[in-house]
């Protein structure tokens, strides 16, 4: 490889493109993993609620794979492989693009409000779990925005009876346009599950606070979830980090790294390796169970 020094802007552009390509590939080959994994959660609680045993269905297999992957690599799935998250990124990118064309400033949500809203997803998760446990969930057909999204994605337009789901999806799309990863941060029940998983600190993003430029908030400003990055050596992995690696590239001091390792976390090869592992395991799992 030619040793030509790339400017930080060029590096960011390359990483952005690689991430977009990975997202598109996952959208095409594994578009239903997010809902099938969450179906695993719903299935487990439905079974327990009705007193039946929990079997290793293909939903549970997807849940296990995505869960274990998240424990090892953090929420890489959310940032790179979730079809709904990728769709949201596309909507947000379109909104930003339109704002630029119209020379209007994009709307920003209040930061304090956002912090409170992050707890909403746990409430969503809890509600769905309770409904499944009590056996009411099956009566709620037509209310899930994910169902509507998945139907539209697969070209199924028979949406009669899905009014509530459609309204919710429209609201979510509006939210995702204005605020990057709106759904993932505030509402996603699968994201709530991921946040509650004990992700290992090996591949989490950390910084050495003392070597930061005083008052610099470049990482937080560019983080899709406006996170404060953990201190190096800390075991407290932030459950809301999507592993997008943008903070790594924006840090003017190159102060952010993965875990305690020399790895930075936004390397192209590292993105590809994680994506390949995830895709391979998911495809193998589907093959094994069928």
Partner 1 sequence: MSFWLKAVNLIVCVGLIFGYNAVINIRAQDENINELNAKVDSLQAQVDYDKKLVQSYNSSVNPDTENDTNSDLSGPSVYNNGEYEGTAKGYGGDITVKVTLENDTITDIQVVSAEKEDQAYLTVATSILERIKSANTADVDTVGGATFSSTGIKNAAIQALNKALI
Q: Which residues bind partner 1 (CB under 8 A)?
A: 31-33, 36, 39, 42-44, 46, 48, 51-54, 57-59, 61-62, 137-138, 141, 151, 154-156, 196-199, 201, 235-237, 239, 286, 289-290
Q: Give whichever of 58 and 222 is closer to partner 1, judged by the CB atom.
A: 58
Q: Is the Cβ of residue 156 or residue 211 nearer to partner 1 in the bound state?
A: 156
In the complex, the smallest distance separating the C-beta of residue 249 from partner 1, rounded to whole angstroms, is: 26
At closest approach, how far in Å is the CB of 54 from partner 1?
5
Q: Shortest gap between Cβ of 147 and partner 1 (angstroms)?
A: 9
Our CB check for partner 1 shows the closer of 31 and 85 to be 31
Nearer to partner 1 (CB atom), residue 223 or residue 230: 230
- For partner 1, the closer of residues 97 and 119 by Cβ is 119
Per residue, what are the HEC states of the chain? CCCCCCCHHHHHHHHHHHHHHHHHHHHHHCCCHHHHHHHHHHHHHHHHHHCCCCCCCHHHHHHHHHHHHHHHHCCHHHHHHCHHHHHHHHHHHHHHHHHHHCCCCCCCCCHHHHHHHCCHHHHHHHHHHHHHHHCCHHHHCCCCHHHHHHHHHCCCCCCCCCHHHHHHHHHHHHHHHHCCCHHHHHCCHHHHHHHHCCCCHHHCEEECHHHCCCCCCHHHHHCCCCCCCEECCCCCCCCCCCCCCHHHHHCCCCCEEECCCCCCCCCHHHHHHHHHHHHHHHHHHHHHHC
């Amino acid at each position: 490889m030619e040793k030509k020094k790339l400017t930080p802007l060029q590096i960011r552009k390359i990483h952005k493109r690689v991430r977009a390509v990975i997202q598109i590939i996952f959208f095409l080959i594994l578009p239903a993993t997010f809902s099938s994994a969450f179906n695993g959660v719903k299935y487990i609680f439905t079974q327990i609620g009705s007193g039946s045993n929990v079997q290793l269905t293909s939903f549970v297999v997807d849940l296990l794979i995505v869960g274990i992957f998240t424990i090892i690599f953090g929420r890489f799935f959310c940032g790179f492989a979730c079809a709904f998250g990728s769709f949201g990124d596309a909507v947000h990118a379109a909104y930003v693009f339109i704002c630029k064309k119209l020379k209007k400033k994009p709307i920003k949500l209040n930061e304090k409000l956002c912090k409170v809203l992050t707890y909403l997803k746990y409430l969503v998760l809890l509600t769905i779990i309770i409904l499944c446990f009590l056996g009411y969930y099956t009566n709620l057909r037509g209310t899930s925005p994910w169902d509507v999204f998945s139907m539209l994605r697969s070209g199924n337009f028979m949406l009669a009876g899905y009014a509530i789901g459609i309204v919710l999806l429209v609201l979510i799309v509006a939210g995702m346009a204005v605020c990057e990863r709106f759904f993932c941060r505030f509402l996603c029940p699968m994201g709530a599950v991921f946040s509650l998983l004990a992700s290992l600190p090996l591949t989490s993003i950390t910084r050495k606070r003392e070597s930061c430029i005083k008052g610099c908030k470049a990482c937080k400003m560019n983080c899709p979830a406006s996170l404060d990055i953990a201190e190096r050596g800390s075991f407290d992995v932030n459950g809301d980090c999507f592993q997008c690696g943008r903070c790594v590239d924006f840090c003017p001091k190159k102060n952010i790294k993965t875990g305690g390792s020399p790895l930075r976390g936004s390397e192209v090869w590292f993105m590809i390796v994680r994506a390949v592992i995830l895709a391979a395991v998911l495809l193998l799992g589907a093959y094994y169970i069928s």
